[in-house]
Chains A and B, each alone.
Chain A
């Protein structure tokens, strides 16, 4: 097992940094999209619950950026706020807008999309985090153990919503099915390590892409069987966020999340 005090090979450091950017950027974007929902959830209790999940996820992103800072990749706030979209490594799914409109005006966000995205993403995150608990990089394994505790509740929350809405009115089922199609269109890079696949996997930082994908499918199967449905197939990615390929949605998100920071990136806020 490695830790920051040990001498790290250049390859190992490159693999680790690449993986950490993927993890950090994923949670930053997921939490950001969640924070746009704040105050607009279907009922007040849900607003309290889902904003707690966004907050936890922002905390996870902060821990990953902190590990990057310790590795000399730069200041954590800078990494979160000032990297252009071409340097971002989050999956396409996490950057997607919540629906029509902008949160500052009168958005028409889609709760079905929020539920499906959150459920599939959280389940994917759980599979990864469980694998990270055995990572060759000890500080990452330690962070993963903390994240895992909170994920238990996140997964339970979104699974409950998923089952309830899928098993309810025709309108709800239709909206959920449509949302699932939309979510799966962007799911292709969820388990991808991009061009760093070989480097990340050979350094035993996390299990291989194929193992994670298989675990994700297996973890969803009981729920889908209960709903008389089949776990959807994960497509080949059209764009791979892990390689810095992104949609316009990410540019919009970055403009908002860094608006104040960019007024003066050197100032203390």
Chain B
């Protein structure tokens, strides 16, 4: 009996991998190996939660945006991010169904540190220029990794990303517009921007994660590539980011805070000063500059509003 079961399991896995190899889309109700499901849950729940946690640093600047148009722009932008979070958590909820888990469990996982949010959103914001850097370069970096997954083997994720990427392009333009106003502005505004870039540069390098699992002890890169969820490695993404943004940053007259940075023609790669990966390790353990403060904000608002969710449940049932 056992051998029949394991044979059929092996056959199902073989058939599944054939579908992956043939670039077929896997749908929520299709059979999938646990490894695939768990890889997706980890990836998409982290992506969704990062959208929601990522709204917090930017939100700090929403009430302070310095003109009516900037107020309107950044309100729309942060609202989009919450919308992406909602879309991605819905995708995750379908994947979690066989385990009897739901969104409430994801929130608890976030609070107890089992579910991580993206390292870039553990950073502090200090000035209005940060709102520009986040929109232009953080969202720009996100576009690079997310567009790679537009053809992801999991259909619901690929379709959610299609909409998310389209909106992220607007966000990058929104950020670029803030940056251009500062670049063309007063000496004080330019200085504010350069100072923000100096602060964010290391975080932007860390955005893509370490080149290999030796840095952190584990990495999902290999699994996500094996299952055709994504196609490129962390380092390949980082190099693409350099290709796209280094010329743009320099053309605005800004300085990149890395004197070693240059393009190595022979290797056809950018050479750069490695970020301090020990900081990265702290961040992914929720010990970054604003990790606990942001988790605390999310946790407090979740607990503070518990009576509302109770009241809604009572109305529905």
Residues of A at the B interface (CB closer than 8 Å) are 31-32, 35-36, 38-45, 47-48, 51-52, 54-55, 58-59, 61-62, 65, 76-77, 80-81, 103-109, 111, 164-165, 167-169, 171-172, 175, 256-257, 259-261, 263-264, 267-269
Chain A residues with CB under 8 A of B314: 168-169, 172
B311 and A109 form a contact (CB under 8 A): no
Supposing A51-B79, A55-B79, A111-B305 touch, asked if A76 and B128 sit within 8 A by C-beta, the answer is no
Task: List residues of B (59-81) whose CB comes within 8 Å of A's CBs.
Answer: 59-72, 75-76, 78-79
By Cβ-Cβ distance, the 9 closest A-B pairs, closest first, are A172-B311, A269-B66, A42-B305, A42-B308, A168-B311, A260-B66, A40-B301, A51-B79, A261-B66
Residues of B at the A interface (CB closer than 8 Å) are 52, 55-56, 59-72, 75-76, 78-79, 82-83, 85-86, 89, 128, 178, 181-182, 184-186, 188-189, 296-297, 300-301, 304-305, 307-312, 314-315
B300 and A172 form a contact (CB under 8 A): no
- In the complex, how many angstroms separate the beta carbon of B130 from the nearest chain A beta carbon? 11
Chain A residues with CB under 8 A of B55: 38-39
| Docked pose: A262 CA to B208 CA in angstroms | 36
- In the complex, how many angstroms separate the beta carbon of B100 from the nearest chain A beta carbon? 20
Chain A residues with CB under 8 A of B184: 268
| Docked pose: A103 CA to B297 CA in angstroms | 9
B52, B188, B307, B311: residue with the most chain A Cβ atoms closer than 10 Å: B311
Would you mind naming 18 contact pairs between A and B with Cβ atoms under 8 Å apart?
Answer: A38-B59, A38-B75, A39-B78, A39-B82, A42-B305, A42-B308, A48-B79, A48-B82, A51-B79, A62-B68, A111-B305, A164-B312, A171-B311, A175-B307, A256-B63, A257-B63, A259-B64, A264-B189
Chain B residues with CB under 8 A of A171: 307, 310-311
- In the complex, how many angstroms separate the beta carbon of B137 from the nearest chain A beta carbon? 19
Chain B residues with CB under 8 A of A169: 307, 310-311, 314
B64, B71, B86, B189: residue with the most chain A Cβ atoms closer than 10 Å: B71
| Docked pose: A55 CA to B305 CA in angstroms | 22
Contacts A167-B315, A257-B64, A261-B66 known; 5 new A-B pairs at CB < 8 A: A42-B305, A44-B86, A103-B59, A260-B64, A269-B178
Complex: chain A residue closest to B185, CB-CB: A267
A58 and B66 form a contact (CB under 8 A): no
| Docked pose: A55 CA to B76 CA in angstroms | 7
A32 and B79 form a contact (CB under 8 A): no
